[in-house]
Structure 1
Amino acid sequence: MATKSFTTDLRFSRKSTTGLIKALNSSNRTVKRSAPVKSKEIKDHDSIRMMFSKG
């Protein structure tokens, strides 16, 4: 029973295969990226400890 999840066969229907081919062939899809976040370098040991402390 433990190996049952590793031996699962994938089954595709004609409709799902057509949808997969359309998704792979479409070149007009853009990748959604997150906006850049302003950051600064912290070198102070006390500030780093404060960020990771539980208090």
Structure 2
Amino acid sequence: MNRSCPICRKPRVEEFTPFCSARCRDRDLARWFNDDYAVPGPPADPEEIARED
């Protein structure tokens, strides 16, 4: 099965899998940094997190 880059849909390149290039890899990382992606689950309580540290 030939899967494509999740950002631009071009063919994947082994060096950057699952992306086709460093540019698409970096665009994906920027989306995580900008909170464009989220992991499902209940909201975290910042006070509870602080107590765990």
Tell me the TM-score normalised to structure 2 length.
0.30
Which one scores higher on RCO, CA 8 angstroms, separation ≥ 6?
A: 2
Tell me the TM-score normalised to structure 1 length.
0.30
- Structure number with greater Rg is 1
